[in-house]
Structure 1
Amino acid sequence: MERIKSFKQLVSHLNEMEQRKRVAVISGTDESTLYALHRGLEAGFIDVIFVGQIPDFEKHQEFLPHKANIQQFPMEDEDESAQFAVTLVREGKADFLMKGLVHTDNLLRAVLDKEKGLLPAGNILTLIAVAETAAYDKLLFFSDPAVIPVPTRKQREWQVKYTIDVCNAFGIEEPRISLIHFTEKVSEKFPCSVDYADLSQESREGKWGKAIIDGPLDVRTSVDSEAMEVKGIKSPIAGRADALIFSDLEAANAFYKTLSFFGEAKQACILCGTSCPVVVSSRGDDGESKFYSLAMAAVVGK
């Protein structure tokens, strides 16, 4: 598989696959979600299953040419809607989920249900984002701007595993994963840096397979080979990171929103750890971001 370096290339790749993925969207009646779904239908890589609140198709006649690729299951109760959507996935009738106007708490209650949910025992839930910026010549993945406040060592290991899986799905055979701190020095004052040193050593010993993992490193040296050379840092990342693992949610969330507003980056994100991708976009994300999140879920989902 050719490496995917842009969102345009991602959508082209999905078109070439000629395989529609079925997305169960819960109360997808807001304009940005409808924009994303319609664009996905037009691009030909999704079928849409509306669950819960159903759009007024009289006002959204752009969906009429795609009625053969749309199913509807109207429901009033948010918990019932979320549970039904999860059941569709468990029964093999949907490939992944998307959040519309349903409250995140209602959705996650169904997703995380120990008996009827989508999180396999032992897995953790985390969010992986990907950005396309004018300053970098490839997509940049990063975790976790929304779910885990301060990852434990075990949670960080899962974040690394999921990030490798996502990068592989995008055709990156040997992803370079940089473990982000404000300095490249290891200090017990910052427990994450100790975890980073251990993960880097494990990578050198081959524990993580075909992946290059190193840190602590800062963001600039992770993506700028000249900055790494000027600072005299020797790292197999070599200023060409494919993915960044942040120390905590605050740092990752600030990075996500800074890229979006000041960097005008195109971004997408999905929940990982579940048996299928879950698109849970921020309320501030626009229709384009939600569309790219759909495309990300479609390529990552099996």
Structure 2
Amino acid sequence: MNGPPAAQEDGAQLQRLLGLVRGQPPLRTAVVHPVDALSLGAAVQAAERGLIEPILLGPAPRVRDAAAAAAIDIAPFRLIDVEHSHEAATRACALAAAGETAAIMKGALHTDELMEAVVAPASGLRTDRRMSHVFVLDVPDFPRPLLITDAALNIAPDLMVLRDIVQNAIDCALAMGISEPKVALLSAVETVHPKMPSTIHAAALCKMSDRGQIVGGVLEGPLAFDNAISEAAARTKGIASPVAGRADILVVPDIESGNMLAKQLSYLSHAQSAGIVMGGRVPIMLTSRSDPEASRLASCALAMLVAQHRPSKYAR
């Protein structure tokens, strides 16, 4: 009988991410509207660690005032003066589309405002794949990173959007060096139920994987949360699967369940997290004001890995 997962040092998985990019050149990054000490300090701190080469986009007087108030030296960095946050987001997209930056980092503006500029048809950042967010969680006493998607962007994804969400998460895991990641498609039960759309979507996604419409990972679902992460729970239910109890990626049915799951792990299990938007032409870091230093730096490392990884091609 398998015992509990081997204990690990808190933050070990995020430190592993930082280790994967050690010695690599910094990622040229458009930092959108860094007009407070927290967002500006996060960008400069990442630059000092050699993770990013920031280009600051915001109202220049406000950026300089924030730097002065927090005693942050921004003299080494390019500062593009724009009128307001919306213009900062639009200009950041233009820089990325032109190849002048390889990533985008959210500053002191709402996620919706930044993503509205990113997904606009004129942004030049859209691909044939739906964009989605991936959390990479470092859960104490859990032996591997745990990816959760989508808990930030897509509210109630249909089947084809879920296909892109799953593929984006697999590509993120592959970029992190996880070979053939195991994907658990979450629901409340482990069998298909006609009144529970999440179970039908899970079954369809598994068949789509069989037919090459999702590639690079191993899918299983529907699975309840316990059967996705606990081999003992999966055995008790009689679930024989290479994914059950060993999942690397947890795919949630909607943003509400995903957001609650990620925050429960953060606040009750003291998980640390990195996060990235996948599916666009460049990775996008949606750092939160409440993120600790390790999470912000690990998100930069994750963006570096994703920027180097070629997205998988699947059958249509």
Counterpart in the other structure of 1:58: 68
Counterpart Cα distance in 1 of 2:147 and 2:112: 26
CA contact (8 A) 2:14 2:295 kept: no
Q: Which among 104, 108, 114 is matched to residue 101 of structure 1?
A: 108
Amino acid at match of 1:80: E
Counterpart Cα distance in 2 of 1:79 and 1:29: 13
Counterpart in the other structure of 1:9: 16
1:148-227 matched pairs, under 5 angstroms: 148-204=154-210, 207-227=213-233
Question: Which shifted more, 20-29 or 70-79?
Answer: 70-79
Given the superposition, is the C-alpha separation of residues 207 and 104 from structure 1 closer, same or farther in structure 2, using an over 3 Å criterion?
Answer: closer
Question: Which shifted more, 99-108 or 84-93?
Answer: 99-108
- Determine what percentage of the aligned residue pairs are the same residue: 29
Q: Tell me the SS of whatever aligns to 2:21.
A: helix
1:29-61, CA deviations, whole angstroms, 9 ceiling, x for partnerless residues? 333323422331232121111101424433444
- Deviation of the 1:94 alpha carbon: 0.8
Q: Which among 231, 247, 253 is matched to residue 247 of structure 1?
A: 253
Question: Which shifted more, 198-207 or 92-101?
Answer: 198-207
Q: Tell me the SS of whatever aligns to 2:190.
A: coil
Counterpart in the other structure of 1:22: 28
Counterpart in the other structure of 2:90: 83
CA contact (8 A) 1:28 1:55 kept: no
Given the superposition, is the C-alpha separation of residues 29 and 287 from structure 1 closer, same or farther in structure 2, using an over 3 Å criterion?
Answer: farther
Amino acid at match of 1:241: A
Counterpart Cα distance in 1 of 2:246 and 2:113: 39
CA contact (8 A) 1:181 1:217 kept: yes
Counterpart Cα distance in 2 of 1:134 and 1:27: 33
1:207-265, CA deviations, whole angstroms, 9 ceiling, x for partnerless residues? 53331100011111111112211222111204111101001111100001111111111
CA contact (8 A) 1:259 1:265 kept: yes
Given the superposition, is the C-alpha separation of residues 76 and 209 from structure 1 closer, same or farther in structure 2, using an over 3 Å criterion?
Answer: closer
CA contact (8 A) 1:130 1:142 kept: yes
Q: Which among 34, 46, 51 is matched to residue 45 of structure 1?
A: 51
CA contact (8 A) 2:133 2:276 kept: yes
Given the superposition, is the C-alpha separation of residues 103 and 254 from structure 1 closer, same or farther in structure 2, using an over 3 Å criterion?
Answer: closer
Counterpart Cα distance in 2 of 1:55 and 1:298: 27
Amino acid at match of 1:78: S
* TM-score where L is the length of structure 2: 0.86
- Deviation of the 1:81 alpha carbon: 1.4
Q: Which among 134, 148, 173 is matched to residue 128 of structure 1?
A: 134
Amino acid at match of 2:68: E
Q: Tell me the SS of whatever aligns to 2:86.
A: helix
Counterpart Cα distance in 2 of 1:164 and 1:87: 27
CA contact (8 A) 1:37 1:291 kept: no
Question: Which shifted more, 90-99 or 228-237?
Answer: 228-237
Given the superposition, is the C-alpha separation of residues 112 and 205 from structure 1 closer, same or farther in structure 2, using an over 3 Å criterion?
Answer: closer
Query: What is the total number of aligned residue pairs between the two structures?
Result: 293
CA contact (8 A) 1:11 1:43 kept: no
Moved over 6 A (4+): none
* TM-score where L is the length of structure 1: 0.90
